[in-house]
Amino acid sequence: MDLRDGQTQPILDPNQPTHVYHLALDIGGSLAKIVYFTKDDDRLVDVEEGLSHRKALEKSNGSKQYPVLNGRLNFKKFETSKINDCLDFIKSMKLHIGGRQPQENPGSQPIVKATGGGAYKYADLFKERLGIILDKEDEMDCLVAGANFLLEVVHQEAFTYMGDQKQFVQIDKNDLYPYLLVNIGSGVGMIKVEGEGKFERVSGTSIGGGTFWGLGKLLTKCKSFDELLELSYRGNNRAVDMLVGDIYGGMDYAKIGLSSTAIASSFGKAISDNKEREDYKPEDIARSLLRMISNNIGQISYLNALRFGLKRIFFGGFFIRKHPFTMDTLSVAVNFWSKGEAQAMFLRHEGFLGAVGSFMSSDKHGLKELLANQVAQRSPRKLSFAVDKILHSLPDGEFNGDESIECSVYAA
């Protein structure tokens, strides 16, 4: 990827694979996530363009870097139970062909970085069906590396969400650490992050996304996670939860600051009502369940933040799915218990932290540095997906979390 001054041919070697530059995977207990880089319309940046861009950049910020490749980081997820869909997709898009060849043995099977338990469980399947070797990376390392990278590099990655108000938080990368990373996947991991590669898993809970989906499936007739989430939108937890007001005859318990609408006992109303499960609306059950799990995670997160004096909690993982109610519940729990001292924040690429970390780990050739200087981040207009849209309106097809970021690869 070097610039050949004065020549008119493309900067990139046209003989190299043009469709995909890079692929990485994170195969978790519930979902398999992939991140891959593609060039825009197979368009190479020509020398003239690269040079004029470099001149403009040199003028504006003294940088000697210039773009050599414009493209997208693409994000896609599949249910792990349907791992063959993931393999079919990779095959149909020929994503595996761009995999790294082992230097010591060129021409042998391409190597693709992968993390999560599925990198072990499905290694043989990937080898048999796609002829690729999964090079395993540690799950925690990838999670933290992915979160750090996204927070440091991607414009408007982090945001707060409370009372229907979403606010992007401008992260100063010199003031990012320490923070608590709470990853809500099938289970929940809580990690104190103090810097690049400097972290400790301090807590977790098995009551996480898998619990919501598993219990939700048993308690309602939902056939998919999205259906369960959709149901929870319409429900009212008061029909199922025992509220302070139910116990206090409609009054607040003001002395300890509990309003009549605070939940005294999740699902507690079911013990006193003379009803069967079928008598409750599935949407009310879904709502109570979502609230119970989110509240619990918010509270444990706050306690761990308190334990280590951390003021910022970043929530990731696909349980969140940018669901306003989930984010609001987590934020309110953190805010309530910390009396406003700690702040809950969310990541736009919530479920892809591990996959991004895995993608970055394969950077033996400076790709991380190249991507870290992408121009698109300075121009949010250029980002190809709009989070606002996802949060405020949810027409079909916009709630699936598969997105892409326009970016440019730079060379110094």
* CB closer to ligand ADP, 33 vs 54: 33
210 binds ligand ADP (CB under 6 A): yes
**Counting contacts by CB under 6 A, is residue 29 touching ligand ADP?**
yes
Report the helix count and the strand count for the chain, using DSSP H and E: 14, 15
> In 3D, which of 333, 322, 345 has the Cα closest to residue 295?
333
Binding mask 66-105 for ligand ADP (x = CB under 6 A): -------------x--------------------------
How many residues of this chain interact with ligand ADP, rule: CB under 6 A? 19
* Closer residue to ligand ADP, CB minimum distance, 319 or 410: 319
Stated length of the chain: 412
In the complex with ligand ADP, which residue's Cβ is closer, 28 or 99? 28
Q: How far apart are CA 217 and CA 207, in angstroms?
A: 15
Whether 158 contacts 168, CB under 8 Å: yes
On the question of a cis peptide bond just before residue 178, with omega within 30 degrees of 0, the verdict is: yes
Site for ligand ADP in 327-356 (CB under 6 A): 351
By the rule CB under 6 A, 216 interacts with ligand ADP: no
Closest approach of ligand ADP to the CB of residue 116, in Å = 6
Distance of alpha carbon 314 from alpha carbon 253, whole angstroms: 32
Identify which range of 26-34, 41-49, 121-129, 194-202 contacts ligand ADP by CB under 6 A.
26-34
What is the three-class DSSP state of 390?
A: helix
Q: What are phi and psi of 105, to 5 degrees?
A: -145, 70
Residue with nearest beta carbon to ligand ADP? 28
Find tokens 């609306």 and name the residue: 281
Q: Residue 186's closest CA among 405, 357, 351, 71?
A: 351
Nearest CA among 202, 205, 234 for reference residue 323? 234
Q: Which of 302, 314, 318, 346 binds ligand ADP (CB under 6 A)?
A: 318
Minimum distance of ligand ADP from residue 100's CB (angstroms): 24
What is the DSSP secondary-structure string of 329-363? HHHHHHHHHHTTSSEEEEETTGGGHHHHHHHHHT-
Interaction between residue 30 and ligand ADP (CB under 6 A)? yes
Measured from the CB atom, is 69 or 182 closer to ligand ADP? 182
Q: Of the candidates 66, 149, 212, 337, which one interacts with ligand ADP according to CB under 6 A? A: 212
Asked if 146 touches ligand ADP (CB under 6 A), the answer is no
- Residue 122 engages ligand ADP in binding (rule: CB under 6 A): no
Q: Which is nearer to ligand ADP, 28 or 98 (CB)?
A: 28
Least Å distance between CB 402 and ligand ADP?
10
**Residue closer to ligand ADP (CB basis): 82 or 378:** 82
CA of residue 288 relative to chain centroid, distance: 24
Residues 169 to 198 in contact with ligand ADP, rule: CB under 6 A: 185-186
Q: Do 79 and 32 touch, CB atoms closer than 8 A? A: yes
Q: Which residue in the set 149, 179, 213, 359 belongs to the binding site for ligand ADP (CB under 6 A)?
A: 213
Q: Are residues 209 and 318 in contact, defined by beta-carbon separation less than 8 angstroms?
A: yes
**Which 3 state secondary structure label does DSSP give 90?**
helix
Nearest approach, Cβ of 148 to ligand ADP (angstroms)? 17
Counting Cα atoms < 13 Å in the Cβ hemisphere of 115 gives 26
Q: Provide the binding-site residues for ligand ADP, judged by CB under 6 A.
A: 28-31, 79, 116, 185-186, 209-210, 212-213, 225-226, 317-319, 321, 351
